[in-house]
Structure 1
Amino acid sequence: MVAPEPVVEGAGVHLRRSIGTRRLDNLDPFLLLDHFESASPADYKAGFPYHPHRGIETVTIVRTGEVRHRDSLEHRGTIGAGDIQWMTSGSGIMHEEMPQVRPEGIAGLQLWLNLPAREKMTRPKYRDLQADRLTEAKLGEGANVRVIAGEASGGRLLGPVEGLAVAPKFLDVTLLPGTAFRETVPRGHTAFAYVDHGDLRFGPEQTAVHGPALVVFGDGDIVEASAGTGGGRFLLAAARPLHEPIARYGPFVMNTRAEIEQTLQDLRTGNFIRDEARDE
């Protein structure tokens, strides 16, 4: 179990970070996991002004509030509570994400997924996943589950994101008091649960977890969770590890230092943006 660390990113946004720290540099293929949540505008209103990415996928899940975004390929819009932005930076994209000041504040998660070497310089791709596009159902012993990527319940439920090299499985799980959850994950895949809120128990040992907290699972094929009197919410994430070298410099993740140097040279010389993005 990993306790998230407080960090400040962007132009002054206060976050809790679980993956991408000195203690836990990565969980192949997961490179970063940030939890943003505050009702105080001073913690988030400065946002994340225009910045580049190359070699990764970023997944932004908004729980509360609203985030306006735009990028170098003329995408612009707003994602609100329940919506998800899934961006494949590929060969390079510039974008900004600006939380909007609202009475309810802002809350959500952002994950970075590594791209395999063969896909790091592919065309950027953008998915704007509105809440009503996500499959939602009650499973097993009362768990409410939204399928973001991959499948659930033995293939009965499918998410809108599939066909990626690391075969991600992302399930947004809410457990009301007294309910439980049980789901399979492929053996050999990296798997974790990030508990946003609440008090839950995981595994046959009924390990108690108080959110916010990251629970990293060993290799196996079953994830079990249950809620006590307060209930709770967590993101279950699993994906196939790449087992490739990682060269990392801020928002750029490649396989070699030479590729990082080339990325910086591209940025300096105006050759960073190489292709038009695709929408799905």
Structure 2
Amino acid sequence: MNTLRHVLAIQAGQPASDGAGVRLNRVIGAAGLERFDPFLMLDEFSSDDPDDYIAGFPSHPHRGFETVTYMLEGRMRHQDHLGNVGELEPGGVQWMTAARGIIHSEMPMQEQGAMRGFQLWLNLPAQDKLDEPGYRDIPAAQIPEVRTQHGVTARVIAGHFDDGQESIAGAVQRPYTEPQLFDLQMSAGSQLAPRLAQGLRVMLYVYEGQLQLPGHHAQAIPAGRLVRLSDSGELHLASSEGARVLLIAGRPLHEPIVQYGPFVMNTREEVEQALRDFRDGVLA
């Protein structure tokens, strides 16, 4: 029998506020929630109360990592100092590589209705932290989608999806960290065994329904829980009642992480330099 990836932890997020008061569920990255190299933070935002999101995220800096924003409902507008302007709509993704520095804002394009989605922070290797910044909008129609024989619809945002029957490349491929980011919609009674490279750190965030991990974890994992898995072995997923799950995997960098707010570098001196650069208007 092949070895299965085993569960390291199952944890809930913590309420948080960011930007100009946007209410969030910080799934990873809050105090007491361990970073999961190469991932630094995962925020879930979900509200139909405009007071929870209307103030948005006014202009602010980043250096040293990438942000991935995935929208489920609602509309946000991105603007940055490079002149990029983008509209993030349902099903779309914004992939921003801050690298040596980017100053941007993300503001709601609505005054009512639901605003729902995720933002993931992905570390950059030391050699790339001071490279040119970049920005990419990926509309919903440009994200590959596949329906498996066992009742799962996978939207493949990054990496490569392969379950032995269906195989498809995602909208984004990145070196070094090799991120795999899939939005899995599992119908009732469905199952899935995605093939993931050994050595990748893997986590599953259940955001609707319930998930089971056949073979070694009989307990149903409810919405609002993050499952952290071991770096090796096979992965088997099932859902008796149906579920929506973010599968997030990446290759760890095994480099020091020094963070101060929106700056993520390898040493304290590099973070202090980022602060000076921002203060002096030469961050980017």
Q: Where on the TM-score scale, by shorter chain, does this alignment land: which range?
A: over 0.9
Q: Which residue of 27, 34, 42 corresponds with 1:33?
A: 42
Q: What's the counterpart of residue 113 of structure 1?
A: 122
The Cα offsets for residues 203-251 of structure 1, whole Å up to 9 and x where unpaired, read as 423331111111111122422221223x110110110000001110000
CA RMSD of aligned residues (A): 1.3
Deviation at residue 180 of structure 1 after TM alignment: 1.5
Structure 2 match to 1:98: 107
* Aligned residue type for 2:221: V
> In the alignment, is residue 164 of structure 1 matched against residue 171 of structure 2?
no
Residues 1:217 and 2:229 are matched in the alignment: yes
Q: Deviations over 1:132-177 (max 9, x none)?
A: 1111011241100011111011582001211422111111100111
Report the Cα distance in structure 2 between the residues aligned to 1:102 and 1:265, rounded to whole angstroms.
Answer: 36
Q: Tell me, in whole angstroms, the C-alpha distance in 2 between the residues paired with 1:6 and 1:94.
A: 26
Aligned partners of 1:176, 1:102: CA distance in 2, in Å?
A: 33
Contact 1:61 1:84 in 2 (8 A): yes
Alignment of 1:10-89 (within 5 A): 10-89=19-98
Aligned residue number for residue 200 of structure 1: 211
Contact 2:147 2:153 in 1 (8 A): yes
Gaps of 5+ in 2: 1-9
Q: Indicate the SS of the match to 2:273.
A: helix
Cα offset, 1:25, TM superposition: 3.2
For residues 61 and 216 of structure 1, what CA distance do their matches in structure 2 show? 20
In structure 2, relative to structure 1, the CA distance for the partners of 1:222 and 1:103 (3 Å cut) is farther
> Which residue in the other structure is 1:276 paired with?
none
Query: For each residue in 1:93-145, what CA deviation from the matched residue of structure 2 results, as whole angstroms up to 9, or x when unmatched?
Result: 00011123355310001000000000000001111111111110112411000
Number of matched pairs:
272
Q: Secondary structure at the match of 1:46?
A: coil
Question: Conserved in 2, the CA contact under 8 Å of 1:51 and 1:94?
Answer: yes
Q: 8 Å contact 1:65–1:106 — kept in the other structure?
A: yes
Q: Assess, with a 3 A threshold, how the Cα gap between structure 1 residues 102 and 182 changes in structure 2: closer, same or farther.
A: farther
- Identity rate, percent: 43
C-alpha separation between the residues in 2 aligned to 1:224 and 1:140?
Answer: 15
Amino acid at match of 1:177: A
TM-score under structure 1 normalisation? Answer: 0.94
Secondary structure class of the residue paired with 2:221:
strand
Partner SS state of residue 263, structure 1 = helix
Q: CA–CA distance in 2 between the matches of 1:201 and 1:29?
A: 25
